[in-house]
Amino acid sequence: MTQSSNRIFDEISRLATDAAGAAQGVRREVETAVRSQIERLIKDMDVATREEVAVLRDMVIAAREENETLTARIVKLEERLGQPAGESSAAP
């Protein structure tokens, strides 16, 4: 009786091991399919890359610094001309 019980348990164990292996294979297949679909969707959406965002950030910082420099120059020029800052010469 114990001999047949061991065989049954061995068969059940082997079956469970095979099922676990098959489940892992299916999981890998699903992960691969989902990953490729997501990558395709992101590519189709034309999302900016990290490098593109970094370049754009640097350009914005440079433009802001240039704007501040030009604003300071305008204020100095207006002071030289005797005009209060913020008023233009074309004002009535």
What pLDDT digit, counting tens, does each position of 3-43 carry? 677 888 888 888 888 888 888 889 999 999 999 999 888 88
Q: What is the mean pLDDT of the chain?
A: 86
Quick one: pLDDT at residue 92? 44
Indicate if 52 and 35 belong to the same structural domain. Answer: no
Evaluate whether residue 14 is within a structural domain: yes
Note the pTM of the prediction, 2 decimals: 0.46
Indicate if 58 and 38 belong to the same structural domain. Answer: no
Alpha carbon distance 72, 54 (integer Å): 27
Indicate if 62 and 41 belong to the same structural domain. Answer: no
Structure tokens at 16: 């469970």
Alpha carbon distance 17, 21 (integer Å): 6
Indicate if 2 and 40 belong to the same structural domain. Answer: yes
Evaluate whether residue 4 is within a structural domain: yes
3-class SS shares of the chain: helix, strand, coil, % to 5: 85, 0, 15
